[in-house]
Structure 1
C-alpha cells in the first residue's frame, strides 16, 4: 500500500512537471517553470505549504472546477492553471462557489485589463499620476500606506498608519470613483508579487498588513468612508483568493475593541477572520507571530523590529523607484 501511494505521487509529479512548463502571466515572463519545486523554509517559523503538495491533495476538486471553466471564452489554461484554480478551492471549499468566483474573476480581470501589465516595479505609494495618486495625496502623510517587499522569497508587507487616513477628509475631498482605482491597484500589485514568489519558490505565499493604530481617534472615522471601503473590498474579495494571511493591528488603544465591534459587520467574513490585535513589544508570543512572515532585520523599529528606517524609506529591491506603465483609471 505504501509503495502504491509513493508511485501515485511520483506519477503525479512527473505529469505535473511535463504539463506545467511555463505560464503566460506577464509578471512571469522569462521564467521557464510555472511552479518550482518548494525551496527550503527561509527560517524556522516559515511554515508555508508546498504548492505541488496542495495541488496533489486537492487534485480531484481542481479537475472538477477546471472542467466547469473550459467552455468559458475567457478561460486560458496557460494562465488559469492548477495553482490559479487551487486558490479558489481553498477559499470557498465548495465547488459551485469556487466556480462562480473564478468566472467572476475572469470577467473582472478582462474588464480592467489586469492580465496585460507587470506592475511590480511600481508600488502603489510611488504612483504619481491619476486617481490613485490623488487618493494617496488626500492622506495626512505620505507614509500612510506603504507596500514593502524586502525578501524575494517571502510575501508582501503592507504598512498602514491608521491615523494618517482621516476618513472625513477623504469623503469630503474625493468622490466614490476614487476608491476602486486605489484599492484595486493595491490588490493587483500585491497579487502579482505574491504569485511570482509562490511560483518561483513553490510555496503558497501571502501578504500581511500592519495596521498601526497610534494616534487613532473616533473623530477621524466616517461611516460613509467605511461603507465605501466595504463595498469595493467585497467587489474584489473573490478576485484575489488566498492573498491575505493576516492583518496585525499594532499599538492599539483600548478603544480599538469597541471600534472593531462597531465597524466589523461592514466587512466580508473572510476579512474579519484575519484580524489579530497584537502587542509585539510587550508580548513575546505576539512578536514571534510576525517572524513567520518577515525577518527581524526587515521589521521597522516603530513596529518593534531592527530596521531603523521608517516604512516609506524601506526600499523593496532593485525594482524600487522605477517607472511602470499604468492605465488612466489608476
Structure 2
C-alpha cells in the first residue's frame, strides 16, 4: 500500500467518499432518539440525556457478541414506528453523511421492523424515501452533494424474505437500489431464503448478503454459490481461507481465490467488527491482509450510533493503524463506487468527475 503522508481526520472529512453498508436504524443521532422517545411515548430508553445515551449505545454494543450487539436496536427501532419519525431519521441520515463528505451512500433497513404501530410496509418505504429526498435537499442547500440509495433488508430469523424482495423490485425506480438479509447468522443460513434470491435474479435486481461476520467460511460459500450474492456484507472471515507462512508467503484457498478473482466486494466495517468479535482489534483486523492482497475491499460504518463513528473516522483509524495514504483512500473509494448498485453511467460520472479530480492533486 501507499507510503505517502497519512491523512488526518480533519483532512479526511471533506474528501469525497462512498458508503455501501450503513444501517438506518443504527445511525440515529442520540438527541433524536431521546426526542422521538418523548414524542412517540416510547419508555424503554436507559436515559434521556443525549450525551449519556450516546455513551450507553457505544458501551452496550462493545459486547464481543453479534447477538448482544443487535439487542441495542430495540431502542432505535422502538422510536421509529411512525411516518414522521421515519422521515426525520432518513433526512438526518442523509444530512449527516453529506456533512461527512459522503457523495454516494447505500443505506439499508428492514421495513418489517417498523410496523408495530400499524404502518404498512409500503408506508414505511415511502416515508424513508421521502426522508432521504428531503435530506438530500437540505444537504444541497449547505453545498454538499449526496446521492442516496436504499437497500431493503429481510430478517434472517423471520420468514418474509420473498415479500421484502418483491418490495425491493417494486420500488427500484423510486430510490430502492437493492436487497439484503440481516440479523443473526448462526442458525439462520442464507439458503433459507432461496426463493427470494431466485426472484431477485429473475427480475435483474441487485442484492448483497450479510455473511462472514459472526459465522465463517460456510456462510460466505452459501451466500455466493447457492444464493448468488453480488457483494458480501462484512465478509471478513474469508481470511480464514488465507494461509500466511512464517516467511510471509501467502496461499489462498479455493474460496478465497474465487472471491478475489471474481472481484466480489467485501463490505468491511472495521469498528463494528471489533465490537461484535469478528476481529480482535483494529490492528489485528483482517482488512490489513485483505487490502494488501488486493481483494475488493470497501470501508463502511455499519452502525454509526453503536460504533460512535463516521466514515471519515473509520478511514482515519485505518490510516493511522496501517499507514494508508491518499492513494489508498482513493482506491477504497473507487472500489466502493465500482461495487455500487446504481447504474454504470452514474458510477462513472462520480469516479471521473468527483472522485479522481479531488484526489489527483493529493496523490
Same fold (TM over 0.5): no
Q: Please give the range of the TM-score, normalised by the shorter of the 2 chains.
A: 0.3 to 0.5
TM-score (norm. length: structure 1): 0.34
